[in-house]
Amino acid sequence: MKKRHIFTLFTVFLLIFGLMASALAVPNSPEHRAHAIVLADARTGDILYSQNMHDRIEPASVTKIMTALLAIEALDRGEVNVNDLLTTSEAALADMIPYAASIHLQVGEEMTFESLLHAIMLVSANDASNVVAEHLGGSIPGFLEMMNARARELGAMNTHFTNTHGLPGYNHYSTAYDIFRITQHAIANPRFADLYSMQERLFPATNMRPAGVFHSTNRMTDPNAAEYYPGVFGVKTGFTDAAGFCLVSTAVQGDIYLLAVVMGVPIGIEGVNHFTETAAIYDWAFANLEYTELIPITTEITRIPIALGDGADTVGLRPQRTVNALLLAGTSLGELRRDVILFENVRENLTAPVNQGDVLGELTLHYNGRSFGPIPLVAAETVNLSRTDFIWDEITNTLGSPLVLGVLIVLGLLFLLYIVYAITYSVKKRRRRRERMNRNR
């Protein structure tokens, strides 16, 4: 009987221990219902989690990130001014559909370039996107050529835009990864960062409407909304029946700065949308990820030969900076792999002098399917030039020159000919002297 009680207690203990271990275990990925996701470290661009990130899908209004980026870049180049008045044309309203997001611009209405930008990014106004596009590209088709060319420049190779706003259109597609690449570049621009971080913006009166306020469609940034998530900024919401719910956003907590692209959240599930799924992903990330030191700046990665060094025939290489990465808490780095690439001139003939900090190659780290780098590899110490070795090397190289060698051979042959001539002449001279002496007898 006692044995049975002991066995029962042992079974209960194992069950409780198993439940505790399960509760304490760190989940390897977030739970969500989005079709495609990219979660990245916004500072480094390191992708922390992804799902179906290369699937071609409709991007809905996150298309407008590219539209706004081109507008911001035009401002940076001085091609347009924030106070320029843009006039709405019939062509700009030609592809509008009822009930889609807009600010209901009218043909002939004049609005500032800045206000139209706010309408694009805050209200997700399709009509404002077309007005800006027509102004910058000369026509909407002209602007679409600019959008697609810029996408390719930014590495968004699986993206094709056929409109400026993201309404459903034939052959209009992108991927979560491409949207990530475009957004990563965009948020690095201070003007764009200021634009997407707004919750609301006043706009001045136009020739057809009074002044008013544009409010952001991203409820995660609204402190008064149930969906509010502290630390979330922008970037752009999106929704169509074909695309589902989409949201591109950034979030900051402590020293962690994240960029999330969430696309294809299904429609019609109560309590499920782009805000809830993005919040779930951020909850997982902030709870389970931490910065882990992969390689300290003091680590000597390798030593390489160096010629003509004063008291040294090798130089050490170390990373230019300490390499940190967002990893699951408690991650063991036993499987960390290093790839070292030396620059061509370093591989073939590294010669002193070399100064501490000179960049001589690159290091890429690989862990669990993720890559970190390339990180510049620099000289860990200074190696001065040996003057003696340098002079001897110059002499050796000079003597080893084919031209110099040819000249030396010719001179050598001439010297030999001179010796032969001198000997022959001397022999003949002695012979003639003896002949004269004999005649005189």
What tokens were used for 103? 């600010």
d(CA 238, CA 243): 8
What tokens were used for 198? 């707004």
Residue 417, pLDDT above cutoff 90: no
In the 8-state DSSP scheme, what is residue 120? I
Question: pLDDT band at residue 398, thresholds of 50, 70 and 90?
Answer: low
Question: pLDDT band at residue 365, thresholds of 50, 70 and 90?
Answer: very high
DSSP code string of 180-216 = HHHHHHHHTSHHHHHHHT-SEEEE---SSS--EEEE-
d(CA 146, CA 130): 13
d(CA 262, CA 60): 12
CA 31 from chain centre, in angstroms, equals 26
Burial class (CB in 10 A: 0-12, 13-18, 19+), 176: buried
The pTM is what? 0.78
Residues 6+ apart with CB under 8 A from 391: none
Alpha helices (H) in 51-95, listed in sequence order: 64-76
Convert the pLDDT of each residue in 11-36 to its tens digit.
Answer: 434 344 333 333 334 467 788 999 99
Lowest mean per-residue pLDDT among 104-108, 267-271, 334-338:
334-338
Convert the pLDDT of each residue in 203-249 to its tens digit.
Answer: 999 999 999 999 999 999 999 999 999 999 989 999 999 999 999 99
Convert the pLDDT of each residue in 281-318 to its tens digit.
Answer: 999 999 999 999 999 999 999 999 999 998 899 999 99
d(CA 140, CA 105): 16
